[in-house]
Amino acid sequence: MRTRSFLGLVLVLCICASLSYAQVSRSAPDLKPTGKGWGESVSNSNGNGNPNGNAKPVRGNGINYHGGPVMLGTTNIHYIWYGNWQGNTATTILTDLAQNIGGSPYFNINTTYYDGANNHVSNSVSYAGNTSDNYSHGTALTDANIQQIVAATNPTDTSGVYFVLTSADVNETSGFCTQYCGWHTHATINGRDIKYSFVGNPDRCPSACTNGTPSPNGNVGADGMASIIAHELEEAVTDPDLNAWYDTRGAENADKCAWTFGTIAGNGSNVTLGSRSYLIQRNWVNASGGYCSMSF
């Protein structure tokens, strides 16, 4: 998920990309998603290419299917609270999010995505619990450290997404607050395909990782993280191995609607999940030509 400060550049790049793409063959390969909000050429990717070799992607609705798996059945959310969270209401606010996002009209958007056998993502999410990590890798983390933090929990749930949630004193050195607010990927850990995500704390850089409206739950960091978690979760279920659903520029479903929220209420929220209000970005509906929405 790109930071807000890059929005103008993204719009310019998208316009230029649209102009240049119109001048090339439709058979040109789509850029590969990085999980961080932008694409890269296949030759520079990490090897998670189209599993169908040179097969052309299935195009339509502004986002294309590239043959990889989606997450089917119930998706389990695992939280790893990294750093110092003592006394922080985020632990309650974000646990409530995990417990109530499944079954909502909002998460139902993801049911418009499917695999090669036409099996659709379900509107079922379960909160599978949490663990804490007291700065095992300090306050300056690399991408490799995030995987190590996940691996240290001995993850076994191939139907889950493991979220590393960092306190505000923690930085992710590959670009948190300057290029992205969070990201998702996967790795083989203990012989299993484990999906995981880094979610940074916007209290570290509110001008980059929040949209500047009132905090619905009185916690700027947690309210900003709610939207980042939703963003990475919906990308993980529709593109878990970075080879399923993304557009020509490597943008995944949530990337296509990043930093757009629709109607925002006076308290700074745009959706109610359970008994709590949140400000969560819109997601891309893979139907009717494709569009950003808060529900389906």
Query: Which residues are registered as beta bridge partners of 184?
Result: 197
Question: Between 237 and 54, whose confidence is greater?
Answer: 237
Structure letter (DSSP) for residue 182:
E
Q: Are 162 and 197 in contact (CB under 8 A)?
A: yes
Reported as half-sphere exposure (CB side, CA atoms, 13 A), residue 96 has a value of: 16
User: In which domain, by residue range, is 166 found?
Assistant: 4-293
pLDDT at position 56 is: 76
pLDDT interval class at 108 (50, 70, 90): very high
pLDDT interval class at 9 (50, 70, 90): very low
Q: Are 247 and 30 in contact (CB under 8 A)?
A: yes
pTM: 0.91
How far apart CA 39 and CA 31 sit, in angstroms, is 5
pLDDT over threshold 90, residue 95: yes
pLDDT at position 5 is: 55
Q: Are 295 and 101 in contact (CB under 8 A)?
A: no
pLDDT at position 17 is: 36
Rg (C-alpha) for the chain, rounded Å, is 18
What are the pLDDT digits (tens) for 110-132? Answer: 999 999 999 999 999 999 999 99
What are the pLDDT digits (tens) for 127-149? Answer: 999 999 999 999 999 999 999 99
Task: Please give the average per-residue pLDDT across 74-78, as a whole number.
Answer: 98
Count of structural domains, the chain: 1
What are the pLDDT digits (tens) for 146-193? Answer: 999 999 999 999 999 999 999 999 999 999 999 999 999 999 999 999
pLDDT over threshold 60, residue 20: no
What are the pLDDT digits (tens) for 243-293? Answer: 999 999 999 999 999 999 999 999 999 999 999 999 999 999 999 999 999
What are the pLDDT digits (tens) for 30-60? Answer: 999 999 999 999 875 544 444 444 457 999 9
Q: Are 243 and 48 in contact (CB under 8 A)?
A: yes
How far apart CA 45 and CA 267 sit, in angstroms, is 42
